[in-house]
Structure 1
Amino acid sequence: MRVEDQAKFDEYCKNTEFLHVEPNMLLKKIIKPAEQVDKCPDWDTKVIVHYHGTLLDGKVFDSSVTRNQPFEFQVGQGAVIKGWDKGVPTMSVGEKALFILHPDFAYGESGSGSIPGGACLAFEIELLDYIESDHEYPNSPEERVQAAKVRQEQAKNLFAQQKFAKANQKYEKGTQLLESIVSENQDLKNEAKKLRATLFANMCLCFQKMNDSKKSIKAGEDALKECEDDELKVKIYSRMIKSYLNANDIDNALKIGQQGLQELNNNPVVLKEWQKAKDKQNEAEKKRKELYAKMMGNSFRTGSEGAAKPNESGNQEGV
């Protein structure tokens, strides 16, 4: 442990407001209690959290709150530091807590990025929700298609409740169930392919609602690989344009929009979204030109005012 952290960490250990999740290693203080204390995640459960991480001196090193993008991870799989794997399962949905981590429950003596080696860490974590693991995987193609339809219906209900992360998990499970359907029944294979495209398209929308543009775009790309229905393609292209714009990637928004317009004969819905991207491009270009003109104007004025003037004898002053 860093020398500068020792005294402060000892104070936290003696503070009776903190619960010792792991004696003298992982401390917890509830900032905002949950409404239902029994809604706790189990091991092997995906959790959705917001967090704000600092050193003990208050220096911020990472924050999902600042990014406005919740973080997801699987509990108990070693995907995160030990303090999180041990601490988050003690929380209930809606709870916000402050965790103080000994270096052995954080990044150890080696540190990570801007986090020094041997540093104690403080995390404010809010448990937004969790998603129970879904291990069902029927053997027959018919049963898998049916199971995927069930996940689709469950996801629709969750989406209507604005539980986008849970809805997304159902959609994703549906795509996994439909992967590599092998059957002599061509109608069943076609149905599975169409359903899988729809599920990916819905994932594209869910990630968009969750402010995760990168994953939204990836889901859209996966949907296009499976999709043979023009009506669904309209939704996919429109959503992808919007996600690229949300990521402030105007060039790719225009590019995917142009692809959609060519493929769908200038569909008016796609054209409307593409025009939004074009308007943003024009706006950015206008601002660039205005800034350039302003810079050149300032440069001209500075040059005029700063020019050396001849004295009465005709010589340059200061020469």
Structure 2
Amino acid sequence: MRLLDDEALERSSVVANNAMNRERGLDGVNSYARDLGLHPLDRLRPRLADHGAAAWLDLCCGQGRALAEAAGQAPDGLEIVGVDLVDHFDSRASALDGLTLVTASVAQWRPDRAFDLITCVHGLHYVGDKLGVLARALTWLSPGGTFAAHLDLASIQLADGTPATRLVRRLLREAGVAYDARRRVVTRTGPTVLDLPLEYAGADDQAGPNYTGQPAVDSYYRPLRTGTRPDPVPPPRRSVVVDDRGVHVVHGDAVVEPIPWEDVHYATVSRFVVEIAGVDHLELTIDLVYGHYVTVLDSDEGFGAAVAEFARRSGRPAPDLSCLDAGHDGVELWRQQF
């Protein structure tokens, strides 16, 4: 497989596509509000009311139709900036106060100010170093600012072809960045430095359609070893119990309310391996109906019993955990019937 650098990738017909994000509006069926699960102006109005000014940055803005609609509706004091690789912007944009549209690569462009809202609607699908753009953009948030972007973790792989979905989900969570697996939207409140132990290796523009049905780009990374391991410290006690009330996950001495069954979407068990990092363990992943998830490791007390109980409640035999292969999405144990 031939991996492209950013310069070659941006010449690709998959990336420099005039049809990308061209017709998406601010409201309605095909809109920012629907796709992100938040309305940009609703997020910005409190800031405008409190400070008299606010700023919204939209990366991979396409035609900029949604931004033009927002600029036409917004009160004075809102500054909107849209950035896109291709200069095919809405003809109305140039006449609207407070709206600036920039033709540039999001992998190279930098702003000269912070923003109260940063969005990227289906744009990272066409970016090579998705995690690098994400890391840079998170530093551009103002205190209390909101970041929301589509990110398909299935399009991120390690350089040897190993899927990196679970690794990246865990790294994002540990860094305080939320991931909604149902919407495939990554969110964060407030700026942060996202220092992931992954080095960008290149991109594949021939990956084919992603979950949207449109051709997209797969991104490849090399795991990095990060310094000298400290002396081992006993981890806090963790345990899991699955019973009639729901799922109980205990961290240390903390008393945690059970996750009720109506909030559990599905449960899977899988083997997770990253050879270069010396990682090889089993994971029980419990996805919740509102997009969040809980991960339990095979080192946690009650792991095997929880796996068996999920399987029993769905009428399935418990899987042989010693035979799980790495690199797959996992074995489904239980799924809520809506």
Which protein is bigger by CA-based radius of gyration?
A: 1
TM-score for the superposition, normalised by structure 1: 0.26
Structure with the higher helix share, 1 or 2: 1
* Bigger share in strand: 2
| TM-score calculated relative to the size of structure 2 | 0.25
